[in-house]
Amino acid sequence: MTQTRALIEEATKKSGLVWVRGAEAGTAARALWHVWHEGALHLVGDGPGEQPLTGLGLADGATASVTVRSKDKGGRLVEWTARVSELAPGGDAWTAAVADLKGKRLNAPDADRIEERWARECRVLRLEPSGETAELPEGSLAAAPVPTGATTRRPVPAGLPKLLARGARKARKARRR
What pLDDT, in 10s, does the model give residues 121-153?
999 999 999 977 777 667 776 777 777 766 666
Q: How far is CA 170 from CA 62, 125, 141, 166, in A?
A: 61, 54, 46, 6
- All structural domains of the chain: 3-148 (2.30.110.10)
Give the tens place of pLDDT for each residue, 105-115: 888 888 889 99
pLDDT digit string, tens, across residues 59-85: 999 999 999 988 787 788 889 999 999
Residue 88 neighbours by CB under 8 Å, 6+ apart: 94
